[in-house]
Amino acid sequence: MLRVASVNVNGIRAAFRRGMGAWLASSGPDVLLLQEVRADDEILADHLARDEWHLAHEAAEAKGRAGVAIASRLPMRAIRIGIGTGAPGDSGRWVEADLELPGGEALTVASVYVHSGTAGTASMDEKYAFLEAVTSRMAAISDDGGLAVVAGDLNIAHREVDLKNWKGNLTHAGFLPGERAYLDRWFDELGWHDVGRRLGGDGPGPYTWWSWRGKAFDTDAGWRIDYQMATPRLGERAVKATIDRAPSYTERFSDHAPLVVDYDLG
């Protein structure tokens, strides 16, 4: 059994101050995919104990922003940093690695953090350009026909069941038809499995993000914007998906909850 956990930590230092270490010890992932690390290589390694993990990390050019990482108990055969656009705003948003499974086969994993964007502004153009690059890379990975998972904070809710207040967000970034169409393409045309939805039921929810502000967490007024997307050979082996929602607002270590998936590779 392979356990893959993905979480936007909203800053690795802040997350550990709020109790992420206890969650990590209890959840026991084999592969940990992080977004919004907001730290350099040394700080990340210090928080994840250097001798326990193989690490791959892309920090953002802008200090204190974005940042994606892979921490693996499995050996890393290869690491690929970035999605290749060269756009400054795309740094710290994609890191990919080939891991060696016990039987010798490779598992490709990627941690992705998509721009949030604001409808009607240049930031949406940047988001769409990044999504185009992600689509090209996911098509290439899918064409290889191997075992792969791309996971992270997409900042897009796919369907109405993926956010509480969908009617109030029809014209807002994160639920625009143009954004949602990319997920349609990944799942329907490229064949990737939306593991969280397949194993999480028909909805509404379960959600993965709630604003720090107001009563969003207490009333479960959330969004499902964190995903694990698997190629068919891996997706069909996903047997359990858990959103590790904190018991209370004060016990949260991030505004996102971890998405933990077990894959039966036996």
For the chain, the structural domain boundaries read: 2-263
What's the pLDDT band for 97 if we cut at 50, 70, 90?
Answer: very high
Q: Which amino acid is at 228?
A: Q
Cβ-defined contacts of 43-46 (< 8 Å, 24+): 43/12, 43/13, 44/12, 44/69
Mean pLDDT of 179-189: 98
Identify the weakest region by mean pLDDT among 100-104, 108-112, 157-161.
100-104
**pLDDT of amino acid 112:** 98
- Does the pLDDT of residue 50 top 80, yes or no? no
**pLDDT of amino acid 75:** 95
The Cβ of residue 19 has, within 10 Å, a number of other Cβ atoms equal to 14
Query: Are 31 and 109 spatial neighbours (Cβ–Cβ below 8 Å)?
Result: yes
Query: Are 81 and 97 spatial neighbours (Cβ–Cβ below 8 Å)?
Result: no
| 241 Cβ neighbours under 8 A, 6+ residues apart | 195, 196, 198, 199, 200, 228, 259, 260, 261, 262
What is the side-by-side order of every strand in the sheet holding 31-35? Answer: 54-58, 68-72, 31-35, 2-8, 259-263, 238-243
Q: Specify burial of residue 139 (Cβ count, 10 A radius: 0-12, 13-18, 19+).
A: middle
- Does the pLDDT of residue 51 top 80, yes or no? no
DSSP state at residue 169 = G
Q: Rounded to two decimals, what is the model's pTM?
A: 0.96
Two tokens at 113?
């953090």
Q: Do β-strands 147-153 and 106-113 pair in parallel, antiparallel, or remain unpaired?
A: parallel
The CATH fold of domain 2-263: Deoxyribonuclease I; Chain A (3.60.10)
Mean pLDDT of 142-162: 97
Cα separation, 179 vs 182, whole angstroms: 6
What's the pLDDT band for 65 if we cut at 50, 70, 90?
Answer: confident
Mean pLDDT of 124-148: 96
Average pLDDT, whole number, for the chain?
Answer: 95
The Cβ of residue 264 has, within 10 Å, a number of other Cβ atoms equal to 11
